Amino acid sequence: MQDDQLARIIEQLSAEPEEAYTLQQVVDQAVANVPGCHMCSVFVRRHGTVEVAANSDATASRVDELQFELDEGPCLNVLSEHELASVPDTEHERRWPRWAEQAHAQGVKSSLSVRLSATAPYFACLNMYSYREGGFDDDAVDRAVVYARLASVALEQAREISGLRSALNNRLIIGAAQGILMERYGLTLNRAFEVLRRHSNDSNTKLRDVAQGVLDDVDARSPLH
């Protein structure tokens, strides 16, 4: 890839630091920048659960679903074992024969799956599909690997920012609940937090959810409801 191409891709992937938006950009930019890639999706595994986080179109979605239905396929393999999996010809693929046969029936003639670098327990995989047999030559594979590195950086940044926003939002909710308890029961700030924490432990409920329950109770008592 040329420097101007790399700069444009980085700009697109980092345009909005939200994880869901970044994942969709990863998919869209793969179709635009990896030769042979006509469709694309991203699989994400969190704590042992795998889901499709973004895809480019309905055909990609259907081919993805087949991997889950049949419990076989290149992207599932990449998430669990390898960094890269290439399927040059789905018609004659023998590693995942059931998936390959049905993917071929959907018009997918070849595929390329590349793991996106991430920190455990979060893993992601870029799944690229082509309407052409042998759609991903050596140059395409090299570009896909470079692209995956760029996408990994953007995704890690988006996840970090999303995590910070989530943490800030949780603190705001907990702080608001503390304020309600202080006003309602004449508690100190620390005592109000201790009440929330103890209820969280006793009920085996996240502290943030306990605090949200306090806020919901106030809303339910409001004359506007």
Domains along the sequence of the chain with CATH: 3-158 (3.30.450.40), 164-221 (1.10.10.10)
Q: What integer pLDDT is reported at residue 42 of this predicted model?
A: 92
Does residue 11 carry a pLDDT above 90?
A: no
Does residue 13 carry a pLDDT above 70?
A: no
Q: Tokens standing for 112?
A: 């390329």
Q: What integer pLDDT is reported at residue 171 of this predicted model?
A: 86
Q: Return mean pLDDT, the chain.
A: 84
pLDDT tens column, 98-147: 999 999 999 999 999 999 866 655 788 999 999 999 999 999 999 999 88
Residue (of 204, 85, 212) closest to 136 by Cα position: 85
pLDDT tens column, 152-178: 888 877 777 666 667 777 888 888 988
Q: Could you give the CA distance from residue 134 to residue 53 in angstroms, rounded to a whole number?
A: 26
| Max avg pLDDT among 6-15, 21-30, 100-109 | 100-109
Q: What integer pLDDT is reported at residue 19 of this predicted model?
A: 77
Q: What integer pLDDT is reported at residue 149 of this predicted model?
A: 86
Q: Could you give the CA distance from residue 173 to residue 167 in angstroms, rounded to a whole number?
A: 10
Q: What integer pLDDT is reported at residue 23 of this predicted model?
A: 86
**What global pTM score does this model have?**
0.69
Q: Which residues of 28-54 are buried (b: 16+ CB within 10 A; e: fewer)?
A: ebbbebbebbbbbbbbbbeeeebebbb
Does residue 86 carry a pLDDT above 70?
A: yes
- Please report, as a single letter, which amino acid is at residue 18: E
Q: Which residues pair with 126 in a beta bridge?
A: 42, 114
